[in-house]
Structure 1
Amino acid sequence: MERKEFLRGLGLVGIGTLAIPIINSCSKDDDTSDSSVGTNSGSDTGSSSGSGSSSGSCSVTPSETAGPFPTITPSSLVKSNIVMDRTGVAFTIKITIKNTKASCAALKDAIVDIWHCDKDGYYSEYGGTSMQSVNYTSYHFLRGRQTTDENGLVTFTSIFPGWYSGRATHIHVHIYNASGTSLLVTQIAFPEGTNSAVATVNASTANGYTKGLSGYTYNASDNVFSDSVANELGAVTGSLSEGYVLTHTINVSS
C-alpha cells in the first residue's frame, strides 16, 4: 500500500441531543497505515497527493493517511450501528468495494473499517492531549467494522460528521481482504455548496451543530482532498427530517 508524508498538520434526528463539552475541535491530522488488521497511526492534516494506480479496466482509489485517530482494536467493533451515545442528524453510510484485478467486479468478504468525528469534531478512543483536548479515550463511538456482501456492499448507521480546523468533512476507511491483509486506507469527501448536506447540517443548531461553517476548510483547500477529490467524493442524498444517505464506491487491488 502506498504511504504519504505530510507537511503540516444518535441519537438520531428527533431523539434530541446530549450535553457534551463544547470546546475546541480536535486538531491536526499526519500519516501512516500498516498492513496488519487494526494497527495504524498517523495524522491527516498535511500536504497530500492522493495516489491511485491503474489495474485492468479501472483504477485503484487514491490512498490517504489514516490520521492520528485510527481505531485501536477494530476487530472488537464489528457492528453496523456505530452511533452509540452520539447525537446529530441521522446518517446512513453505504460503501461498495470493487476489485480492480477482476475488472472492478464487486469484492465479497472484504473487511471494511470506518471511523469519523462527531458533530463537534471529536474522535473517540483519544483525547486529553494537545491534538484533542476532550478526553474520549474510554469511548468507542462512530467506529465500526463490517464485511462486504456478494454485492461488495457494507452499510453503517451513524450521524452526519461534523468538522474541525484544517479539514473538510470526511470519513476514514481501511479495507482488508478476507484474510486480514491491508488493501487500502483512504478517505471519503463530501459534496459542498450552498444547498449541500454539509451546509444544511452545519446550519442546523436545532440538531446540535453549533459551529456553522465559519472557518471551515473546503475540499479544494483540504490537504488530503485538494488533488484527488473527484475519485474520493461520495454522493449524499436526503434531508434533515428524513436523514441523509452517503453512497460511495472504493476500488482496491485484491
Structure 2
Amino acid sequence: MKRKEFLRGLGLMGIGSLAIPIINSCSKDNDSSDTSTDTGSDSGSSTGSGDCSVTNSETAGPFPTISPSSLVKSDIVMDRTGVAFTIKITVNNTKASCTALKDAIVDIWHCDKDGYYSEYGGTGMQSVNYTSVHFLRGRQTTDENGLVTFTSIFPGWYNGRATHIHVHIYNASGTSLLVTQIAFPEGANSAVALVNASTENGYTKGLSGYTYNATDNVFSDSTANEMAAVTGSVSDGFVLTHTINVAS
C-alpha cells in the first residue's frame, strides 16, 4: 500500500473521534529546490475550471480539529500574528453539474507562522504545547453561491510539508462529504516566497529546508485539483480563492 493511501485511511478513520490516530505526516525534508517556472505574480490555477470531478481526498491528520462544531466563526486569527490572509472557498456539487452547493458545512485549519497547530503539542511531533487553545480553526456554512470566507494569517510551514490548508466538508445534515487539503503556488514571486522572506512580520525561517509541492508526501502525486489561486501583497495582505468539488 502506498504511503499516501495509508495516511488517508488513518486520517479518515479518526474523524469525529478524540482517538484520532496521530500519524507522522512530517517526513524528513529532502532539502529539495523549487523547480517551478512561475515568474509572474503570486497566483495559481483554481480548481473547477471545466473539471467536474470530485476534488482529491487527503488525510485529516495529524492535527485535525477535535470539536469543530464548537468553532463556528469566520475570523480564526485569535492571538496569532502574521501577514493578513483571506480565505475564500467555493463548494460545488458534482451530482448537480458542479453547481454551487448551498448550506454545506466547511471546517478549515492550518498552522501558524511558526508551523504550530492549536489543540496539540507537548509531544515529539510538536514540542510547543497549544492543547488548550483553538487558533486558526473555524467552521462556516456556504451561502447560495457555495462560498465561505475566513479571515486568517498566512500559514507558515514545518518539516516535511509544503504550505497547505486542511478542509473538511459536510452536507447540511452533518454527513462527511470530503476531507482534502489546499496547495499553494510556489516560485520566486509567489506569496509563499514573499511571505517567508517577511522577517518584519515574524516569518523568521525563510525557505531553507522547505518541502516543495513536488516532494511533499501529500501533494507529490498531483496538485491539479488542489491548487489555489493567491493574489495580493505582503503589505496589503493576500487573498486565496479555491473551488472544491464534492458529490452531495
Range class of TM-score, shorter chain: 0.7 to 0.9
Q: Distance in 2 between matches of 1:118 and 1:188?
A: 15
Q: Does 1:32 align with 2:11?
A: yes
1:76 corresponds to 2:70: yes
Q: What percentage of residue pairs aligned between the two structures are identical? A: 80
Segments of structure 2 that go 5 or more residues without pairing to the other structure are 28-50
Q: How does 1:1-254 map to 2 (within 5 A)?
A: 4-6=5-7, 31-34=10-13, 41-43=21-23, 44-45=25-26, 58-254=52-248
Partner of residue 30, structure 2? none
Larger relative contact order (CA 8 Å, sep ≥ 6): 2
Structure 1 gaps of 5+ residues are: 8-29, 47-56
Q: Give the superposition deviation at 1:150.
A: 0.2
Structure 1 residue 6 displacement after superposition = 3.6
> What amino acid does structure 1 have at the position aligned with 2:6?
E
Moved over 2 A (4+): 34-46
Distance in 2 (CA, whole Å) between partners of 1:35 and 1:163 is 23
TM-score (norm 1): 0.83
TM-score (norm 2): 0.85
Q: Distance in 2 between matches of 1:170 and 1:217?
A: 11
Q: Deviations over 1:105-134 (max 9, x none)?
A: 000000000000000000000000111000
Q: In the alignment, is the contact (CA less than 8 A) between 2:15 and 2:60 conserved in 1?
A: no
Q: Which amino acid aligns with 1:207?
A: N
RMSD between aligned alpha carbons?
1.9
- Cα offset, 1:31, TM superposition: 3.5
1:152-207 deviation line (CA, Å, top 9, x unaligned): 00000000000000000000000000000000000000000000000000000000
Question: Which of the pair is proportionally richer in helix?
Answer: 2
Instruction: Give the paired residue count.
Output: 220
Q: Does the C-alpha gap of structure 1 residues 130 and 42 become closer, same or farther in structure 2, counting only changes over 3 Å?
A: closer
**Structure-1 separation of matches of 2:7 and 2:62:** 12
**1:218–1:208 distance in 2 versus 1, CA, 3 Å:** same
Q: CA deviation at 1:34?
A: 4.4
